Amino acid sequence: MTDIVVDPQEQFELITKNLQEVLNPQIIKNVLEVEKRPLKVYWGTAPTGRPHCGYFVPMTKLAHFLKAGCEVTVLLADLHAFLDNMKAPLEVVQYRAKYYGMVVRAILKSIGVPIEKLKFVVGSEYQQSPEYIMDIFKLSNIVSQNDAKRAGADVVKQVANPLLSGLIYPLMQALDEEHLKCDAQFGGVDQRKIFVLAEENLPSLGYKKRAHLMNPMVPGLTQGGKMSASDPNSKIDVLEEPKSVKKKINTAFCAPGNVEENGLLSFVEYVIAPIHELKHGTGVFNFSVSRPEKYGGDISFSSFESLKEAFKNEELGPVDLKAGVTDAINELLAPIIKEFNESPEFQEAQAKGYPAPVEQKKKAKKVKDRGTRFPGSEGSPAPETQQAAKVTEKLAETKLE
Ligand code: STL
């Protein structure tokens, strides 16, 4: 990556580049132009399911922030992962937070972003302090149940009998802005209602209102575009093997000439293109597809628009677009897989954060308790064996998404 940008106007452009929406841009401009200091911005993520390729989207923004000289914090919001319908049980959440941190570092390294200036904070490290807890109480006296519920509607998993934790979640996210001492919070546009809740309520606690930077939502690979936890084909893990990437891309919804509902084109637009720019300079785009001679031979595009146009005109068909995207994704993932394979710490975080679901054994037929002193008995299992069995059972209960 090239040098840090120092001109305030250029910094502002880079900070807000490719975003869907910015709330209170004047807060950012004031820091850059009047106070003339680095902007402090944070991005929060809750370590729930395994991170997938969608993670590359916010990563390109973190790269922009760092290039614009910002002080960037990544919040690994472990308690939020717990509070969101226990998507991460407390037994495993610390490993998931570690795993997420390592994935973020590996992705940024792989796209050539210097990460020395990037700060990582684990939520539970400060969210259990008396000051933070008192702030939750204070905020709960200002925000109505209705407003807290609505704020979390796009973020907190919606279930039939909603838990109280879903109301605490948005309050804590608002408070994180103050306790992380930031000027701006960055997130997907799905966070918008929480961002607005923070803007409307932090001033009542005597805290300043922050700016909010929002990324567009990038569709998944299935028709309808939502990345779903229950459909493994709708997302590609950041450690997905090349063969499996190929298989998943091949099942992706991609109709000839249809550029509107096309997760593959979106992936090129929001991930492949920005990363190519980061590596090769502003405005530089290249997307190549190797094609057999009888189908027109290799073809490459030097702008996203020309690629989209070619697909729309059916000069480029689904099979070829899929081949190009498969190669591009495998190229993006190769250094992350390599990093994982070379790091026992990374592997441990994954193994302990996402223990393999153990087959639920059929209930064993009840045998009459004849004690341990009958012919053929092997005696009682040692206490440590019993303990291990309990832990395995507990891990088996862990619902994986
Ligand atoms: C998710 C998915 C996602 C974003 C988040 C969680 C954000 C969590 C969060 C928590 C606390 C904060 C900020 C953000 O202060 O895309 O499951």
Whether 50 and 111 share a structural domain: yes
* 276 assigned to some structural domain: yes
Query: How many Å lie between the centroid of ligand 1 and the Cα of residue 352?
Result: 22
Residue 216 DSSP code: P
Identify the CATH number of the domain in which residue 314 sits. Answer: 1.10.240.10
> What percentage of the chain reaches a pLDDT higher than 70?
88
- Among 314, 329, 353, the domain boundary falls at 353
Query: How many Å lie between the centroid of ligand 1 and the Cα of residue 298?
Result: 41
Whether 128 and 275 share a structural domain: no
Helices (H), 281-317: 304-312
User: Given ligand 1 and candidates 40, 45, 73, 127, which is best to mutate, with the most ligand atoms within 8 Å of its CB?
Assistant: 45
- Among 215, 231, 263, the domain boundary falls at 215
Whether 208 and 251 share a structural domain: no
For residue 173, which atom of ligand 1 is closest to its CA? 15
Task: Give the model's confidence band at 375: pLDDT under 50 very low, under 70 low, under 90 confident, else very high.
Answer: low
Using CA atoms, how far apart are residues 170 and 166, in angstroms rounded to an integer? 7
* 374 assigned to some structural domain: no
Stated length of the chain = 401
Question: 37-85, pLDDT tens digit by residue?
Answer: 999 999 999 999 999 999 999 999 999 999 999 999 999 999 999 999 9
pLDDT at 1: 55
Mean pLDDT of 387-392: 41
* 367 assigned to some structural domain: no
**Nearest to residue 307, comparing CAs of 293, 286, 323, 292?**
286
pLDDT at 173: 98
- C-beta separation of 56 from 96 below 8 A: no
Residue ID of nearest Cα to ligand 1 atom 3: 45
**Nearest to residue 233, comparing CAs of 212, 219, 249?**
249
Whether 112 and 202 share a structural domain: yes
What is the CB < 6 Å shell around ligand 1?
A: 44-46, 48, 75, 77, 80, 173, 176, 187-188
* 86 assigned to some structural domain: yes
Whether 25 and 106 share a structural domain: yes
* 231 assigned to some structural domain: no
Identify the CATH number of the domain in which residue 95 sits. Answer: 3.40.50.620
Whether 336 and 284 share a structural domain: yes
Query: Which carries the bigger pLDDT value, residue 359 or residue 262?
Result: 262
Using CA atoms, how far apart are residues 53 and 86, in angstroms rounded to an integer? 23
pLDDT beyond 80 at 184: yes
Query: Which carries the bigger pLDDT value, residue 367 or residue 260?
Result: 260
What is the number of structural domains in the chain?
Answer: 2
User: Given ligand 1 and candidates 155, 197, 199, which is best to mutate, with the most ligand atoms within 8 Å of its CB?
Assistant: 155
Whether 291 and 172 share a structural domain: no
Query: How many Å lie between the centroid of ligand 1 and the Cα of residue 262?
Result: 26
pLDDT beyond 60 at 391: no
Region of 133 on the Ramachandran plot (φ > 0 left; ψ -120 to 50 alpha; else beta): alpha
Task: Give the model's confidence band at 117: pLDDT under 50 very low, under 70 low, under 90 confident, else very high.
Answer: confident
pLDDT beyond 60 at 181: yes
User: Which domain, by its residues, includes 286?
Assistant: 242-353
Question: 342-357, pLDDT tens digit by residue?
Answer: 999 999 999 999 998 8
Tokens of 187: 């997130």
Residue ID of nearest Cα to ligand 1 atom 11: 173
pLDDT beyond 90 at 329: yes
* 389 assigned to some structural domain: no
Residue ID of nearest Cα to ligand 1 atom 6: 46
Sign of CA dihedral 297, 302, 304, 305: negative
Query: How many Å lie between the centroid of ligand 1 and the Cα of residue 228?
Result: 17
Contacts (Cβ under 8 Å, ≥6 apart) of 352:
92, 95
pLDDT beyond 70 at 316: yes
**Nearest to residue 127, comparing CAs of 167, 80, 191, 162?**
80
pLDDT at 358: 80
* 228 assigned to some structural domain: no
* 15 assigned to some structural domain: yes
Helices (H), 130-164: 130-140, 145-151
pLDDT at 36: 97
Using CA atoms, how far apart are residues 60 and 271, in angstroms rounded to an integer? 8
- C-beta separation of 1 from 196 below 8 A: no
If one counts every other C-beta atom within 10 angstroms of the C-beta of residue 128, the result is: 10
- C-beta separation of 22 from 214 below 8 A: yes
- C-beta separation of 121 from 75 below 8 A: yes
Whether 205 and 110 share a structural domain: yes
Query: How many Å lie between the centroid of ligand 1 and the Cα of residue 77?
Result: 7
Using CA atoms, how far apart are residues 152 and 62, in angstroms rounded to an integer? 24
- Among 353, 371, 392, the domain boundary falls at 353
Q: How far apart are the first and last CA of the chain?
A: 35
Supply φ then ψ for residue 211, to 5 degrees: -85, 155
